Structure 1
Amino acid sequence: MAAAATPTSAPFGYSPEGDAVPLFTLTNAHGAEARITPYGGTVTSLLVPDRAGQLGEVVLGFDSLDGYLSPAYQQANPYFGALIGRYANRIGQGRFTLDGRPYQLATNNGLHHLHGGRRGFNQVLWQATAHTAPDGSPALRLTHLSPDGDEGYPGNLQVTVDYTLCADNALRIEYHATTDKATPVNLTNHCYFNLAHGQVPDALGHELTLPADRYTVVDDTLIPTGELRPVPGTPFDFREPTALGARIGQVPGGYDHNWVLHQPLAPSGLHRAAFVHEPTTGRTLTVLTSQPGVQCYAGNFLDGSLTGHDGTAYPRHYGFCLETQHFPDSPNHPDFPGTILRPGQVFHSTTVYRFGVR
């Protein structure tokens, strides 16, 4: 087996502020390839083999920065492949109270705060350092300082995210954060997956397994009611492999919900959040995480107006997200797992997207 290649970089475009933006390419010993830009910490491309050994694209994205800055993309704002923070998912009406003090965040999703606000981590240019991990895998470290008051959040939040393309065709993402004031933190990545990109009309034929026996019930604006409802007898039961589209018509608007992961953490500190099998190519995706939930979003708001890799249009349900996370609106639900990071503490979470075939 050949050695993994040293990470390389090439020009990718210019940010709205006029800064040159690079694109880093990580290639492992099997030839699998991840391309990541520090603009938004975005995974723009991920090439992994199918059952015949042919490399193919498995994420939605663009081949230049212009795609992410276009008016059509800015209007749709699907967050393709981006890092999300300070708080992934929604906070109801952008409001929460912390240590007796009320806070008002930017509202960018109707009345609500979504994915960090009007200018979340997906729209900042992270500092990037490419390197080789101790096991020889190619890696990229991204850092960003979110200042006190950013989008309404308290505290200076220092964030580090490490992407590693492992020898087993896994993209490993590790998040670290520290703060000088108590603040909510919920970090994730927003990759849209299609394991048969360019070969199927949508992703609804992907067979999904979610080892979760409850999900977070939401109102018609996707804010949790506080109920964690058992999945048996509902279209949210993916404990056995089920096509993503088999029951999506029973869910108003489609899947955009948080599943409650119940498996105990393995000795590695990770548990299985999801497993996906795509019958056409034989590709599989195993998601491992240290987080308590996973948001499955079925690309309900894609509408064909965006065209990405290889000139492929992205219609509704063409890609799906498996965003490992804490629960939406947790600062307003004391019974949910806590998301408040305090001075002296270190936020740390790990998620692994491992690709295979069968």
Structure 2
Amino acid sequence: MPSVPRVVRSRFGVLPDGTEVERVTLQAADGLEARIITYGASLQALLVPDAAGHRDDIVLGHDTFEGYLARRQFFGATVGRYANRIAGGRFVLDGAEVQLAANNGPNALHGGPEGFDRRNWRIVAIEDGDHPAVTLAYTSADGEEGYPGTLDVEVTWRVAGPMELSLEMTARTDRLTIVNLTNHSFFNLSGARSGRDILDHRLTVAADHFVAIDAGAIPLPQPPSAVDGTPFDFRAGVEIGARIRNDHPQLRVGRGYDHNFCLGPAGAEPRFAARLVAPASGRVLELFTNQPGLQVYSGNFLDGTTAGKGGRLYRQSDAICLEPHAWPDTPNRPDFPTARLAPGEIYRHTTSYRFTHAIQGAIGTQSEVDSPRGSGR
């Protein structure tokens, strides 16, 4: 008997110039389902069973393409050429000053006004079988948004296991440049249409330090700050809402959590970075990455003006972003891990999203929540 196809390719929308936007659906045997659209190489939907076996979409976004085109909010998007902020939209690379397009006050944010999230990527490969995958590609021209060098980028989404979705990003350049890519999914493990916020989600982050920021979300001119004794200490697992209203200067300047947590040096293999547990659904997300930082953003600027899936208005703390990438403003901070990419080198970003369920009645306990499975720690 022939196997059931686990990849479905379909039309999702049309750009103003008539170019088709496609959607590729990847299906796992145990119910996990990822839907990726070519616009922004974005994760448009992610269906995951809860502890009772009921599937829900757990990422914010839009049901139709028109919502993505109408307003830029990075829902599920691939972000680049440089995720996060670069101070003043400028940096010096081997003695030459580079001026970027500024789109966040005086700063450059998430690749500029027309970053990778606003581009329609090409589908270059589709794999069926037990580990279905789609690979999308985009070529960023020399000088695009001010960045030097022609950059060839590929992003592969893969169902790596019955309850695991992996993401691999690679990039090559013909000229010295900087690269810092991430995925900007907004997670709500209770369900994107549940009507619940994420303040009761229990978050663990494997970081002893975080990067303090100024009013423009640019790193302060100091080394990373210790999380010990602050509302930024998530090492043992804490409800997101437990301390988000504390009168801490960094919570005030960020309007909540919008900070880079320092995971350690970038490596070839992914390591445990974070865990998110939703008590209402019992879903557990474990994030593994080879990146040196994890931006934790608690949806502070969702203000109720955007209608998302099911017509739901998205408001503050309706979701949380866990964005693995290099530290912010790295090109201007020689004390931070580098984001340089030279010709002949390959940029590699690997992130895995592994889903399990909390043991009935044990949500939030030390054994279930705070002991990373398979992390090697």
What TM-score does the superposition give when structure 1 sets the normalisation length?
A: 0.94
Aligned equivalent of 1:301: 301
Quick check: 2:29–2:162 contact (8 Å CA) kept in 1?
Answer: no
CA offsets per residue over residues 86-111 of structure 1, 9 Å max, x none?
A: 00000001010001000110000011
Aligned equivalent of 2:236: 240
Q: Tell me the percent identity.
A: 45
Aligned equivalent of 1:111: 106
Matches for 1:200-349 after TM superposition, within 5 Å: 200-225=195-220, 226-250=222-246, 251-252=251-252, 253-262=255-264, 269-349=269-349
Task: State how far apart, in whole Å, the 2-side matches of 1:36 and 1:168 are.
Answer: 18
Bigger drift between 308-317 and 234-243 goes to: 308-317
Quick check: 2:265–2:337 contact (8 Å CA) kept in 1?
Answer: no
Task: State how far apart, in whole Å, the 1-side matches of 2:311 and 2:126 are.
Answer: 32
Aligned equivalent of 1:22: 22
Aligned equivalent of 1:151: 145
Quick check: 1:202–1:318 contact (8 Å CA) kept in 2?
Answer: yes
Give the direction of change, closer, same or farther, for the CA distance of 1:263–1:210 in structure 2 (3 Å limit): farther
Task: State how far apart, in whole Å, the 1-side matches of 2:324 and 2:38 are.
Answer: 20
Deviation at 1:136, TM superposition (A): 2.6
Bigger drift between 155-164 and 122-131 goes to: 122-131
Matches for 1:52-91 after TM superposition, within 5 Å: 52-70=52-70, 74=71, 77-91=72-86
CA offsets per residue over residues 138-194 of structure 1, 9 Å max, x none?
A: 101010100000000000000011000222311100011000111110000000000
Give the direction of change, closer, same or farther, for the CA distance of 1:200–1:263 in structure 2 (3 Å limit): farther
CA offsets per residue over residues 21-45 of structure 1, 9 Å max, x none?
A: 1111111111211111011111110
Task: State how far apart, in whole Å, the 2-side matches of 1:140 and 1:248 are.
Answer: 38
Task: Determine helix, strand or coil for the equivalent of 2:68.
Answer: helix
Choose which of 182, 189, 198 in structure 2 pairs with 1:188: 182
Aligned equivalent of 1:160: 154
Task: Determine helix, strand or coil for the equivalent of 2:187.
Answer: coil
Deviation at 1:304, TM superposition (A): 1.4
Deviation at 1:5, TM superposition (A): 3.2
RMSD of aligned C-alpha atoms?
Answer: 1.6
Instruction: Give the aligned residue type for 2:241.
Output: G
Deviation at 1:3, TM superposition (A): 6.1
Choose which of 76, 93, 96 in structure 1 pairs with 2:91: 96
Deviation at 1:248, TM superposition (A): 1.1
Task: Determine helix, strand or coil for the equivalent of 1:140.
Answer: strand
Quick check: 2:28–2:130 contact (8 Å CA) kept in 1?
Answer: no
Task: State how far apart, in whole Å, the 2-side matches of 1:300 and 1:78 are.
Answer: 12
Deviation at 1:264, TM superposition (A): 9.3
Unaligned runs of 5+ in 2: 359-377
Task: Determine helix, strand or coil for the equivalent of 2:60.
Answer: coil
Give the direction of change, closer, same or farther, for the CA distance of 1:8–1:294 in structure 2 (3 Å limit): same
Quick check: 1:215–1:236 contact (8 Å CA) kept in 2?
Answer: yes
Instruction: Give the aligned residue type for 2:137.
Output: T
Quick check: 1:91–1:114 contact (8 Å CA) kept in 2?
Answer: yes
Deviation at 1:201, TM superposition (A): 3.0
Aligned equivalent of 2:165: 171
Task: State how far apart, in whole Å, the 2-side matches of 1:168 and 1:291 are.
Answer: 24
Deviation at 1:200, TM superposition (A): 4.1
Give the direction of change, closer, same or farther, for the CA distance of 1:3–1:29 in structure 2 (3 Å limit): farther
Aligned equivalent of 2:116: 121
Aligned length in residues: 349
What TM-score does the superposition give when structure 2 sets the normalisation length?
A: 0.89
